Amino acid sequence: MAEQPRRPLDPELKERLLQEARTPWRSLRRAVWFALVASAGLGLATMSMRASAGEGVPSTDWLIQLGALVLFGSLLWFDRNRLGDP
């Protein structure tokens, strides 16, 4: 059989493939970071409700939840699409 002539790759598709090659699994990473930020935020909200009800919440628990929120929020922030990034 005769081989079909090759068509050039669509420039938009080529750019998306190159971007994925530069930053593999970005969508999955961002989904994980978002889930972890949401979890830390929910934990912090739960502890706030407990504290407002008069129940004691250890300061180490506050620090862990706040640290998780800052850490995973930072990871989500640094993994964003920036203008001008290749």
CA–CA gap between residue 31 and residue 45 (Å, rounded) = 21
Q: What does pTM read for this prediction?
A: 0.71
CA–CA gap between residue 40 and residue 72 (Å, rounded) = 8
* Residues 49-84: tens digit of each pLDDT: 999 999 999 999 999 999 999 999 999 999 886 655
Residue 86 in this model has a pLDDT that exceeds 80: no
